[in-house]
Structure 1
Amino acid sequence: MTEFHRNVRRSDGLAFYCRQCAAQRSETSRRKRGIKERRQSPVPVPDGSKWCPSCEEIKPLAEFTRTKAKRDGYHSYCLPCHTAKGVASKVRHHGSTREYHLRHRYGIGQAEFDELLAEQGGVCAICGAADPQHVDHDHRTGWVRGILCFNCNGGLGQFRDDPVLLANAITYLKGTTWRRALIHPGVYRISSSTRGRPPSRSS
């Protein structure tokens, strides 16, 4: 009985093929599908370590990413190799990591990004700064709204995309910011705020 895997779908509760034959059939299937033979360390791997088949080095488990998909709880490749393979996969399937990021995060590609930016005149949709690189989207619907610079995109996020909070901030600035008032052609008067207090002499 121990020579067979369990299979609850069969009447006897055991797999049709024994463990050895099942392993051979699995390897044959993997070869037909183009999956390379699983590589193993040529030397014994000490406890607390793992062999990376990419760089062929034995490294501490701390240098491997955790995953529930593997029996030992760690990815096959070490962190540098895992990252490099991820980048290579994104480039192979999407052309670049930038294209992958835009598609995965916002549902648009670089072509759509460039089109949106061109419609804005090549500047941030809020402050007009040149060469903005951040996609602004509605967090509730996922709809892309425009291309913003780092500061404007971060500012909207800090205000949680709430128009009421942004309006309150505008009202607050208007009541606390010093303003130049034109009182005569070429003559200005600085009007101080009605709230807050001036800086101390030591400032």
Structure 2
Amino acid sequence: MSPPKKGYRKCSRCDRNRAERFYTPRGRICLDCRRARQRKSARDARVHRTYGLSVDDYAQIFKFQDGRCAICRETRRTNLAVDHCHKTNAVRGLLCARCNSTLLARGARDRVDVLRRAADYLEKYPAWEALGEPRYTPETGRNDG
């Protein structure tokens, strides 16, 4: 490939030729790649702080569920949400946003098989199977009711 034209640089992460304005003065990674890395890092830190799951723990549960929501079995373009029990703080598994927030309202859409899997999910947590042990969210001092 030819070198980038004047006023452009090649990003060392995405290999795209981008205008100089997308870089810090000595930067080698474009602004889009840098922001994506910061978003991922911030999310990983939040998941660890909130649920006590390391990046490896999340990846292990994700792989155990074949990259799919534990209830509807669909894949998503965005990250799956970490679901936990609000009474015991037990991490149950990974769910898509629809199943995590609106399962009974819209998510099941009159699909009996989905509701059966939801019941199975609440009785047998995939996160515990994937990690081989129960995992609980750290106590944060908040009052959950």
Tell me the TM-score range normalised by the shorter chain: 0.3 to 0.5
TM-score by length of 2: 0.40
Higher relative contact order (CA 8 A, sep 6+): 2
Which is helix-richer, 1 or 2? Answer: 2
TM-score by length of 1: 0.30
- Bigger radius of gyration: 1
